[in-house]
Amino acid sequence: MIKEGLYLDKNYIIDLKKVSKTYDDVEVLKNINLYVRENEFLTLLGPSGCGKTTTLRIIGGFEQPTKGKVFFEGKDITILPPYQRQINTVFQKYALFPHLDVFNNIAFGLKIKKISKVEIKKKVTEMLKLVNLEGFEYRSIDSLSGGQQQRVAIARALVNEPKVLLLDEPLGALDLKLRKEMQMELKNMQKRVGVTFIYVTHDQEEALTMSDTVVVMDKGMIQQIGTPIDIYNEPKNVFVAQFIGESNIVDGIMHDDFVVEFAGRIFECVDKGFEKEENVDVVIRPEDINIVNAEEGMLKGRVKSVTFKGVHYEMIASGENIEWKIHSTIMKPVDSEIGMIISPDSIHIMKKVSKN
Amino acid sequence: MKLKWISYPYITWMIIFIVVPLILILFFSFTSGDIQELKNLEFTLDNFKRFMDPMYLKVLGKSLSLALQSTLICLALGYPMAMIISKENIKKRNILILLFVVPMWMNFLLRTYAWMTLLSKNGFINFIITKLGFSPLKLLYNDKAVLMGMIYNFLPFMVLPIYSVLIKIDNKLIEAAEDLGANKMQVFLRVILPLSLPGVISGFTMVFMPAVSTFVISRLLGGGHYMLIGNLIEQQFLYVGDWQFGSAISIIMMVFILIAMGITAKFDKDKEGGGLW
C-alpha cells in the first residue's frame, strides 16, 4: 500500500516527494513520500516526536523541507509562504486572536482578501451556523469554552474556502465526551463542505473513527498507509501492531508458506512469501484469542489476572514462557487452567526488524 | 482579611510621603499670606491667575511640546528596537537587554554631565568635526541638546515595556494570521501592533511623565537660562521662595500629565495595560 513513484498526478491535491527535514543535525523526517486525494480525510497518526506535526507544518508552509518537494494540484509549492497557499490550518490550542471578537476572528482572512462588508457578513453568518455558534458574533474569545473556541477556530479556517484544511490535534484540549461529539461533528462537516482534511493526532481511536486513510508514522518515517480497517487488521510491522490497538507479539519460525511455529506448536496461518525457517514476529490481537476448556485448546495457560474493562474482561494467561493478553466477554477466574484457540486468519506474521 | 495589619506600614508611608505633601501643595496653591508663619492666610486663585501670563504659558507650551516630541521619538526608535530584540534568540536577547539596562546603573546626573562634555564647544564631537576640516558647531545649550538628553535618558523606559509585551505574543498567532493570508505587513498591523498597545501605552506614560517634569536635563544641556516647567517650579521653591506660586505650577503640571495619561488610556480598550490607570 506504500504510495511511491515520481510521476505527477493531478488527482492528488497534495503530494510530498522524498521530503526530509533536519533540525540541528537531527533528522525528524526521513524521505517521506505521501499523496493526498481530493476530499479525503487523511490522518497522520503517531506518538509524539514521530514527525507528524512537522509534516503538517511543511504542508502548511510554516516549515520548509531540507530535501524534497511539495506539490499542490501538481504545482510545486515547496517554497511558497503560508499566506500564498490555498490551505488553512486549525491550530493546536486554536491560536485565536485575543484582541478580536468571534465575528472578527472569523472575518480575519476575508478582510485581508478585501471582500465587501456585506459579503463578509453573509459568509461569517453562514459559518457560525455551520459550527453551531449563531448569536456568538460579538462575544470575546476568553468568554468562550474550549469547545466553542474550537468551533471558532474551525470556522475561521473554513470561511476562506480552502482546498485543504490542516488540523493539528484540534481535539487534544477537550474532555472525553466533548471530544467524541466533536469527532462526529468534524467528520460530518468534512463530508458536507467537501474539503480535504489532513488531521494530526496521537490518538489511535480518533484516527480509526474519523479517517478515510490513516498514515502511521514513527521516528520520522511512514510505517504504514491504509484504510482504518487495513491498518487495524493487517498491521505491516510490529510498531503499527503495537501502536494501533493492543497486541500479543511473540517470536516465531516460518517453516513454509502458511506454516508457522510459535509457543512450541505449529500453527496454520494465511501468510506466505517468507524464507524457509525464517525467524519472524507473530502478532495476535487479544480479542482474537478464544477461550475454551483446557483440554480442547491449541495452547494451555493459567489465568494470572483478570481486569474488568466494561465491554470485556482483560485476562493475562501464562503458559510456555509467554504471557498472553486476552480480551473476552467470558470471565475465567484467576488460577484456572484455560485452553486457547487462534484461527489462521488471526495470526499476523511480520518480518523481524533489526532493533535500532 | 486577617492579615490587614500587614498593609498598615505601607498605608502610613503613603500618607506621610504622598498624601500629606499633596494636600500641602493643594493648600499652598490656593492660599495667600505668610505660610511659614501661618499668618494672614486667605483663599485665593491669584497663584493660578499669575500663571496665565504669556511668559509662563510659553514655558508650559515648550515643556509639553518637548516632552511630546521626545516621547514620540522614543516610540519611533524604541518600538523597532524592542521588536528586533524580541525576535533574537534568548542568549542575544539577554545581552541586548543588559546593554539597555547597564547605563541605568550609573547615576542619571553623571550620564547627563557626560553628554555635556561630549557636546561642548571643545568636546569630543566637535573635535572630530574640526579634525575633518569643518568649523565647530554649537551643539550644547539649545532645544536639540535638551531633546537629545531626554531621548537618551528615557529611551529604555519605552523599549522595556514594549519588549516585555512583544515577547509574550504567542508565535502561533502570527502563524495563524499568515495562514489566513496576511503578509508580513498585514500581520504586523492586524495582530502584533494591536496586541502590543498595552506596552506602548505604559512606555508612553513612563517617558512622558519624567520628560515633562525634568529640570536637570534642561538645566545641564539647555544652559542656566533655559526654562522648562520643572525649572520654573524648582526656581520658585529654591530661589524665589514663593511656595504658593510653585505649588500652583505643580498642580497645573499634574493636571496636564493626568490629561495626557487619560488620552493614552483611551487607546487601551482592553484595560489590561500596564499603564498607571
Specify the residue for cell string 490555498: A86
Query: Is the pLDDT at A233 greater than 90, yes or no?
Result: no
CA torsion angle for B97, B99, B101, B104 (degrees, to 10)?
Answer: -170
Query: Is the pLDDT at A11 greater than 80, yes or no?
Result: no
Q: Does the complex come out with an ipTM higher than 0.85?
A: no
Dist CA B108 CA A252 (whole Å): 81
Strand order across the beta sheet in which A348-351 lies: A265-268, A259-262, A248-256, A278-284, A348-351
Could you read off the pLDDT of A154-187 as tens digits, one per residue?
A: 999 999 999 999 999 998 878 888 888 889 988 9
Query: Is the pLDDT at A193 greater than 90, yes or no?
Result: no
Q: Could you give the domains of chain B?
A: 1-44 (no CATH), 54-267 (1.10.3720.10)
Beta carbons of A216 and A200 less than 8 angstroms apart: no
Q: Count CB atoms within 10 A of the CB of residue A41.
A: 21
Computed from CA positions of residues A114, A117, A118, A119, in that sequence, does the dihedral angle turn out positive or negative?
Answer: positive
- Nearest CB to B181: which of A92, A95, A109? A109
Q: Count CB atoms within 10 A of the CB of residue A107.
A: 23
Query: According to the model, what pLDDT value does residue B271 have?
Result: 46
Beta carbons of A8 and A71 less than 8 angstroms apart: yes
The minimum CA-CA distance between B181 and chain A, rounded to whole Å, is 4
Q: Give residue ranges of A with CB < 8 Å to any B CB.
A: 60-62, 81-83, 87-89, 91-93, 95-99, 108-109, 112-113, 156-157, 160
CA dist list (Å): A17 to A4, A199, B49, B80, B246: 8, 19, 82, 40, 78
Classify residue B192 by its DSSP letter: I
Q: Is residue A10 very low, low, confident or very high in pLDDT (cuts 50, 70, 90)?
A: low
Q: Count CB atoms within 10 A of the CB of residue B30.
A: 18
For A195-233, give one letter per residue: b (16+ CB within 10 A) or e.
bbbbbbbbbbebbbebbbbbbbbbbbbbbbbbebeebbe
Q: Which helix (H) or strand (E) holds A28?
A: strand A26-37
Query: According to the model, what pLDDT value does residue A173 have?
Result: 78
Could you read off the pLDDT of A277-303 as tens digits, one per residue?
A: 899 999 999 999 999 998 888 888 999
Asked if the Cβ–Cβ distance from A97 to B270 is below 8 Å, we say no
- Nearest CB to A112: which of B170, B173, B181? B181
- Nearest CB to A91: which of B176, B182, B194? B176
Could you read off the pLDDT of A329-346 as tens digits, one per residue?
A: 988 999 999 999 999 989
Give the nearest chain B residue to A164 (CA atoms).
B179
List the grid coordinates of A36: 493526498
Residues of chain B with pLDDT under 50: 270-277
Terminus-to-terminus CA distance in chain A, angstroms?
Answer: 24
Strand order across the beta sheet in which A322-328 lies: A289-292, A337-342, A299-308, A313-319, A322-328
Asked if the Cβ–Cβ distance from B182 to A95 is below 8 Å, we say no
- Average pLDDT of the residues in A51-76: 93
CA torsion angle for B199, B205, B207, B209 (degrees, to 10)?
Answer: -170
Q: Is residue A6 very low, low, confident or very high in pLDDT (cuts 50, 70, 90)?
A: very low
Dist CA A178 CA A200 (whole Å): 18
Dist CA A148 CA A168 (whole Å): 17
Dist CA B167 CA B85 (whole Å): 9
Query: Is the pLDDT at A232 greater than 80, yes or no?
Result: yes
Q: Count CB atoms within 10 A of the CB of residue A307.
A: 9
CA dist list (Å): A135 to A124, A142, A148, A156: 11, 16, 12, 16
- Nearest CB to A83: which of B170, B182, B270? B182
Dist CA B128 CA B117 (whole Å): 13
- Strand B39-43 and strand A75-76: the pairing is unpaired
* Percentage of residues of chain A with pLDDT beyond 70: 96
Question: Largest Cα–Cα distance of chain B, in whole Å?
Answer: 75
Query: According to the model, what pLDDT value does residue A356 have?
Result: 41
Q: Count CB atoms within 10 A of the CB of residue A309.
A: 8
Asked if the Cβ–Cβ distance from B178 to A89 is below 8 Å, we say no
B135 touches chain A (CB under 8 A): no
A319 strand-pairing partners? A322
Give the nearest chain A residue to B172 (CA atoms).
A95
Average pLDDT, chain A: 90
Dist CA B195 CA B206 (whole Å): 19
Closest by CA to A237, choosing from A352, A356, A346, A344, is: A352
Terminus-to-terminus CA distance in chain B, angstroms?
Answer: 25
Closest by CA to A98, choosing from A161, A152, A166, A167, is: A152
Q: Could you give the domains of chain A?
A: 12-238 (3.40.50.300), 247-351 (2.40.50.140)
Could you read off the pLDDT of B65-107 as tens digits, one per residue?
A: 999 999 999 999 999 999 999 998 989 999 998 988 888 888 8
Query: According to the model, what pLDDT value does residue B225 have?
Result: 81
What are the residues whose beta carbons fall under 8 Å from the beta carbon of A226, sequence distance 6 or more?
A1, A213, A214, A234
- Whether the pTM exceeds 0.95: the reply is no
Specify the residue for cell string 474532555: A175
Closest by CA to A2, choosing from A312, A323, A224, is: A224
Beta carbons of A228 and A208 less than 8 angstroms apart: yes
Phi and psi angles of residue A269, each rounded to the nearest 5 degrees, phi first: -140, 180
Phi and psi angles of residue A165, each rounded to the nearest 5 degrees, phi first: -110, 125
What are the residues whose beta carbons fall under 8 Å from the beta carbon of B65, sequence distance 6 or more?
none
Query: Is the pLDDT at A39 greater than 50, yes or no?
Result: yes
The minimum CA-CA distance between A43 and chain B, rounded to whole Å, is 20
Residue numbers in A near B172 (CB within 8 A): 91-93, 95
Dist CA A104 CA A127 (whole Å): 12
Computed from CA positions of residues B249, B251, B253, B259, in that sequence, does the dihedral angle turn out positive or negative?
Answer: negative
For A337-353, give one letter per residue: b (16+ CB within 10 A) or e.
ebbbebeeebbbbbeee
